[in-house]
Amino acid sequence: MRRSLGLRLPWLFDHALLPGGLRDLSHCIKEDGNDGAHAGSLSREDAEDLLDFTRALLERLYTEPEKLRLAQERRAERRKPR
């Protein structure tokens, strides 16, 4: 049985599978996405916000950790005795 994203998101945050700092952002994306998909009630401005929020969420979940990992590798390499 497929469960609603609305039920899964709190569980993911409560079990620390998603960073707590993204809770409000993900809730906004879910709610606005539902409004657009089911009610068709998003304005252009709302849709642009939703796109911006989604990009920010993906950036924080995937891009930032990888950039940090790469920077740490470069730092470790730079500090190796020669």
Place of tokens 């950039």: 67
> By the 8 A CB rule, do 29 and 35 touch?
no
Q: How many domains does the chain have?
A: 1
The model's confidence at residue 4, banded by pLDDT at 50, 70 and 90, is confident
Residue 31 included in any domain: yes
pLDDT over threshold 70, residue 1: no
Burial class (CB in 10 A: 0-12, 13-18, 19+), 60: middle
Asked if the structure places residue 2 within a domain, the reply is no
Q: Does residue 48 lie within any of the structural domains?
A: yes
Q: How confident is the model at residue 2 (pLDDT cuts 50, 70, 90)?
A: low
User: Is residue 7 in a domain?
Assistant: no
**Its pTM surpasses 0.85:** no
Q: Decide if 28 is inside a domain.
A: yes
In a domain, 35, yes or no: yes
61: its two tokens: 């979940």
Query: What sign for the dihedral angle of Cα 35, 41, 46, 52?
Result: positive
Q: Residue 19 in contact with residue 60, Cβ under 8 Å?
A: yes
In this structure, is residue 73 part of a structural domain?
yes
Q: Is residue 46 part of a domain?
A: yes
